[in-house]
Amino acid sequence: LAKTTQPISMDSYEGQEVNITCSHNNIATNDYITWYQQFPSQGPRFIIQGYKTKVTNEVASLFIPADRKSSTLSLPRVSLSDTAVYYCLVGAFQGSSAGNNRKLIWGLGTSLAVNP
């Protein structure tokens, strides 16, 4: 099962761009890379998912190099409300029956503190 490594904590200031890098050296061919955000006393919330190159949505961008052994979550112009824990996961290919029995492994995540 793929395992991820990411920084335990990061600090930033309002208005800055934040990049959180995740290492996943043992990523499998069928694995997607997914990022979740978790606020205190809440369940994790999906942010973005990608397979290769670059994915962008209304809240973040995800950069994945060609070897897929790492990925970088980019949060543009963070605000105080972006203070949360961010988890990087690798797991089964979306909709693949081969992946239906693989469980996702969540690490400790990256605790991001955005300061005024």
Partner 1 sequence: GAGVSQSPRYKVAKRGQDVALRCDPISGHVSLFWYQQALGQGPEFLTYFQNEAQLDKSGLPSDRFFAERPEGSVSTLKIQRTQQEDSAVYLCASSPRGHGDTQYFGPGTRLTVL
Interface residues toward partner 1, by CB under 8 A? 32, 34, 41-46, 49, 87, 91-97, 99-109
Q: How far is the CB of 15 from partner 1 (least distance, A)?
A: 28
Q: How far is the CB of 12 from partner 1 (least distance, A)?
A: 21
Q: How far is the CB of 3 from partner 1 (least distance, A)?
A: 12
DSSP line for 4-68:
-B--SEEEEETT--EEEEEE-TT--TT-EEEEEEE-TTS--EEEEEESSEEEE-SS-EEEE-TT-
Q: Give the nearer residue to partner 1 in terms of CB position, either 18 or 92.
A: 92
